[in-house]
């Protein structure tokens, strides 16, 4: 429920799409807003994180400009180029 998905629907999931786009990589997702019963006065926030290596210990650094995105049902897209495009990405979400 935190990500805006329906656990009773196998087609309802939070998807992070990563696709090449010329000399960059496009990372995108849909920021589903907090709506419906139980969500009155709540905001759903998304943060994109990236790490260059899954084997090194430590936190996943934030992707600058893509933190605490207020979800309003919009598609969010991040173009990453150069050496920064290599790595592993994840999306984090929370309700406030």
- Give the pLDDT score at 63: 94
- Within its chain, how far is the Cα of 16 from the centroid? 6
C-alpha span between 37 and 57 (Å, rounded): 39
- Give the pLDDT score at 86: 86
Q: Bridge-partner residues for 50, per DSSP?
A: 89
- Give the pLDDT score at 36: 83
- Give the pLDDT score at 42: 95
Least Cα distance to 14 among 59, 79, 60, 71 occurs for: 71
Average pLDDT per run of 10 along the chain, which is 96 residues long? 89 94 94 90 96 84 96 96 87 96
| pTM across the whole model | 0.88
- Give the pLDDT score at 38: 87
């Amino acid at each position: 429920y935190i990500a805006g998905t329906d656990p009773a629907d196998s087609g309802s999931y939070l998807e992070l799409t990563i696709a090449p786009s010329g000399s960059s990589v496009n990372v995108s997702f849909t920021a589903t807003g907090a709506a419906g019963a139980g969500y009155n006065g709540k905001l759903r926030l998304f943060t994109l994180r990236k790490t260059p290596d899954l084997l090194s210990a430590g936190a996943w650094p934030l992707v600058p400009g893509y933190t605490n995105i207020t979800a309003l049902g919009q598609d969010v897209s991040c173009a990453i180029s150069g050496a920064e495009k290599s790595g592993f990405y994840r999306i984090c979400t929370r309700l406030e």
